[in-house]
Amino acid sequence: MRSGAVKAGRIALLPALLALWLSARALGAEPDASGWKSKVRLSGDLKSYFLAVEPVEIAGNSLTQDQPLEGLNQNKLRLRLAVAPSAQVNFELAYEILPTVQGSLTAIAPNLSFAPAAPAYRVDDLDANLYPKPGERGGGFILGQNLDRALVTVSGKRGSLTIGRQAIAFGAAHVISPTDIIAPYAFNALDTEYRIGVDAVRAKIALRAMSELDLGTIFGQDFNWSRSAAFARAAFPVKTNQLGLTAIEFQDNLLAGASLTRTLGGAGVWLEGAYTWAKLFEQPRPEQDYVRASAGLDYNFNVKNGLYVFLEYHYNGASTGDPGQYLDQAGEVAYREGGVYLLGRHYLSPGTAFQITPLLAFNFASLVNVADGSFYLLPKVEYNSSENVYLALGADVAVGRPARMESPAGIAPQSEFGLYPTFYFTSIRLYF
């Protein structure tokens, strides 16, 4: 390990040590004398998605043109156990079973509905596949698993300390957050209810009204510091604005970010940006440094049962913006380690949500690559059929010039969303 990486490891260790110290000195927990009794709660949910996927079209090669839809069924059973032995201490476990039945879509199916099964920031993990095992053939059936939560939280009057597998997310932007790099969801993920868990030590300290200090260390495979991360974030009000300052050291890179949120004329407004120094603590690569920024607004109209609209602009400085270089970017730090997945530079994302009746809702979101003219549409209708049961019908529609097959060089993109599949889905969610 390089000396710079060793130094980064020591820096990454500081938030964990400080968090532990703060748990003893700053949380301010007091013995509970209210007759509190230990509480145990078992809950969960079952989700099932039935998808019909259109193969990606390749211009100049008829192999994938006019092919029939591919069928896919993805399911997730999530069981959650919460135990509170006192008012100050809470234990939580969450385990998921993920059965999938598919045709020939093995390469893309895992990313259509649910979060990736192998996030970067876990010290160790269960085997992602229960069936088939490596080297075996499953005949179109895959049985996956995910230990998504395993944590203990100690709370007090002035903050909380959480140790173990937990959800960690940052950012003020609503669609694409420049500082949400630990376990980000793709904008077209169907199930984003639970942020996938990572292994971390995290302390949240209340400073004063509306102000908070958030510190932590996130551990990578085998506690390797070159695969780990550390963060410090402060949030505080300035007049009518809520400001956030964030620093994240991740895999020998350094991110510095800031955000601002406020209301303006009844609308919500947000602005967020971040600059990343590539491999600053190992061997700096200034040619791969990049900036990302998002700005947006939303508004709730008092129309019938409620009409919500939003618009967000996103700038992705990690990209050259040239469709011909989209796939060449994949090996750069931003895409390998920085949570960046969009291939272009400039994006607009308008959307709306309308409550048609108290039990029936319509949602629409879209993402437009301004430079190459491609776009992605995500309409969905959801019906609350009975208590704790939700039915949905929707689509993820990709529109863009198809990639070209240029043998022997391979695929040459002409637009970003021309690389994406279109799929249609129905789903059912049950909570218990």
The answer to whether residues 207 and 243 touch, using CB atoms and an 8 Å cutoff, is no
pLDDT of amino acid 210: 87
The answer to whether residues 167 and 28 touch, using CB atoms and an 8 Å cutoff, is no
Q: How confident is the model at residue 411 (pLDDT cuts 50, 70, 90)?
A: confident
* 114 in a structural domain: yes
* 36 in a structural domain: no
Lowest-confidence segment of 11-25, 89-103, 179-193 by average pLDDT? 11-25
| CATH at residue 359 | 2.40.160.10
Average pLDDT, the chain: 87
pLDDT of amino acid 261: 97
* 35 in a structural domain: no
Q: Is the pLDDT of residue 346 over 70?
A: yes
* 368 in a structural domain: yes
* 200 in a structural domain: yes
If DSSP states are collapsed to H, E and C, what string results for the chain?
CCHHHHHHHHHHHHHHHHHHHHHHHCCCCCCCCCCCCCEEEEEEEEEEEEEEEECCCEECCHHHCCCCCEEEEEEEEEEEEEEECCCCEEEEEEEEEEEEEECCCCCCHHHCCCCCCCCCCCCCCCCCEEECCCCCCCCCEEEEEEEEEEEEEEEECCEEEEEEEECCCCCCCCCCCCCCCCCCCCCCCCCCCCCCCEEEEEEEEEEECCEEEEEEEECCHHHCHHHCEEEEEEEEEECCEEEEEEEEEECCEEEEEEEEEEEECCEEEEEEEEEEECCCCCCCCHHHCEEEEEEEEEEEECCCCCEEEEEEEEEECCCCCCHHHCHHHHHCHHHHCCCCCCCCCEEEEEEEEEEEECCEEEEEEEEEECCCCCEEEEEEEEEEEECCEEEEEEEEEEECCCEEEECCCEEECCCCHHHCCEEEEEEEEEEC
Report the candidate in 259, 225, 253 with the shortest Cα–Cα distance to residue 340: 253
Q: Is the pLDDT of residue 5 over 50?
A: no
pLDDT of amino acid 260: 98
* 34 in a structural domain: no
pTM: 0.88
* 373 in a structural domain: yes
Lowest-confidence segment of 115-119, 213-217, 276-280 by average pLDDT? 115-119
pLDDT of amino acid 305: 83
* Parent domain of 355: 3-28+41-431
* 33 in a structural domain: no
Q: Is 137 exposed, middle or buried (0-12, 13-18, 19+ CB in 10 A)?
A: exposed
**Max intra-chain CA distance, the chain:** 75
pLDDT of amino acid 139: 74
Q: Is the pLDDT of residue 195 over 70?
A: yes
Name the domain count of the chain: 1
Lowest-confidence segment of 117-121, 159-163, 237-241, 303-307 by average pLDDT? 117-121
Q: How confident is the model at residue 14 (pLDDT cuts 50, 70, 90)?
A: low
pLDDT of amino acid 408: 59
pLDDT of amino acid 25: 53
CA 68 to chain centre: 31
Q: Is the pLDDT of residue 99 over 50?
A: yes
The C-alpha atoms of residue 220 and residue 198 are separated, in whole angstroms, by 9
Q: Is the pLDDT of residue 304 over 50?
A: yes
